[in-house]
């Protein structure tokens, strides 16, 4: 039988993008992925052309954040036409674009990056960073 895995990390990472990291009640809906390239886990999404479709957030139409799903067919993303889990409220881990502090509000840039910077960015209503997170690291947010 061939070797499937021969190297292991010393520690399991605390968070991965799109990971719902605690048992707090969450509002998660299913939406159909429209982009040909799919949509990765832990990214902001917006309303697509179809009534139940989603596309990657690009400055308008914020709907929620894609939730990690171990049952997807290919890698770390939902493929086109797959049903993506989208978190609208609750806890989720995302990639911080800048260094943030616990309690900071969560904003999205026009490119869909998560930040705490208000200028020219979209405030996710009721969202806050749960921990201090370095730029380029994955950390938890909570959306009320």
Task: Encode the chain (144 residues) as per-residue pLDDT tens digits.
Answer: 677 777 877 777 778 888 888 878 899 999 999 999 999 999 999 999 999 999 999 999 999 999 999 888 778 899 999 999 999 999 999 999 999 999 999 999 999 999 999 999 999 999 999 999 999 999 999 999
- Residue 1 has a pLDDT of 65
Cα(119)–Cα(42) distance, integer angstroms: 23
Please return the burial class of 139, using the count of CB atoms within 10 Å of its CB with bins 0-12, 13-18 and 19+: buried
Q: What's the confidence (pLDDT) of residue 73?
A: 76
Residue pair 63/7 in contact by the 8 Å Cβ criterion: no
**For 27-143, CATH number?**
2.40.300
Give the pLDDT confidence score for residue 19 in this predicted structure.
83
pLDDT at position 36 is 97
User: Taking a C-beta distance cutoff of 8 angstroms, is the pair 76, 118 a contact?
Assistant: no
- Dihedral sign for Cα atoms in the order 11, 103, 143, 66: negative
User: Strand, helix or coil at 57?
Assistant: coil
0.85 cut: is pTM over it?
yes
| Contacts of 27 by beta carbon, 8 Å cutoff, 6+ apart | 87, 88, 89, 90
DSSP 17-44: TT---S-S--EEEEEEE-STT-EETT-E
**Nearest-CA neighbor of 40 among 22, 24, 19?**
19
**Measured between alpha carbons, how far is 89 from 139 in angstroms, rounded to an integer?**
16
So what's the pLDDT on residue 49? 96
């Amino acid at each position: 039988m061939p070797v499937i895995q021969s190297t292991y990390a010393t520690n399991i990472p605390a968070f991965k993008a799109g990971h719902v990291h605690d048992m707090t009640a969450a509002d998660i809906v299913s939406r159909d992925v429209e982009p040909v390239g799919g949509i990765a886990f832990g990214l902001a999404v917006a309303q697509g052309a179809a009534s139940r479709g989603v596309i990657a957030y690009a400055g308008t139409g914020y709907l929620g954040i894609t939730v990690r799903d171990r049952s997807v067919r290919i890698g770390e993303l939902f493929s086109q036409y797959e049903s993506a889990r989208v978190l609208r409220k609750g806890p989720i881990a995302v990639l911080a674009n800048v260094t943030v502090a616990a309690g900071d509000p969560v904003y999205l840039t026009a490119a869909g990056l998560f930040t705490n910077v208000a200028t020219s960015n979209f405030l996710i209503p009721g969202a806050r960073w749960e921990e201090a997170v370095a730029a380029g690291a994955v950390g938890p947010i909570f959306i009320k």
